[in-house]
Structure 1
C-alpha cells in the first residue's frame, strides 16, 4: 500500500529550489505547502544528500534492527550528537522516528520488531546515575 503524499515530488523540488535560490523563506514555503518546517528540512537533507528522486515516498516502511534502534538511542542519550546527527550516522529516515524510540526507551516501554517475533528491547530505561530518586 502506498503512503499518502501531501505534496507531489514537483512541489517538493520547486520549494527546495526556491529556498536554495533565496527566492522564498522556509516559513513561506511551509505555509504554501501546509507542512511543518521540520518536514521541509527533512526534504532538504534528502535532496542534498541523495538527490531529488529520493523525495518520493516509498511503498513500505523502512526496517531497522533492534540493535540499531538501541544503539541510536544510547548514542543520543550519551550526547554523541543531535537528533539529526544520529539519524545521519544510523541512516534513520527522520528525527521523528528516533524521537519515538527515545520516548519508548525512557518510558520503559517495549518495542516490537517488524519481524513479528515480538523481540523486547528498550526496557531497561535510562540510567540517571545517583540522582537521589
Structure 2
C-alpha cells in the first residue's frame, strides 16, 4: 500500500482546487500501482482521471451518482485495477489529460476496460490542459 501527499490551496470563493505553491507540491511513498484515491462514491458509473486536483474538479462538474477515482499518474492510469463492471453499472469514463502521455495511458485503460466488459467513454482535456485547468478557466 502506498500513500500520496498533495498540497492544494483552499477553494476560497468557490474556485476550483489549485496546486500549492509549496515545493514539492506532491509526493508518493510506497507502491501505488493498481490503486487510486477514491474521491467520490457512486453506483451509476466510474470516472477515472490522473490527478487529485482533476478528480476534485470532476466531482464538482459531473453526475453525483458517478464514482470518481484519481490514479495519481499516467502509470497509475495504465496499471489501475478495475473493479467488476457490474459494481458501477458497467459504465467507465476515462477523463484524460490533454497531453501525449495522458492520451496513451487513457487509451490503454479504455481498451483494457472494454475487453473486461465495461462500456467505455474517453474524454480528453484540451491540449496542454487537464480538467482542473478547464474548470478554473484556463485555455478559455
How high is the TM-score relative to the length of structure 1?
0.27
Structure with the higher fraction of residues in strand conformation: 2
Larger Rg, first or second structure (1 or 2): 1
Higher relative contact order (CA 8 A, sep 6+): 2
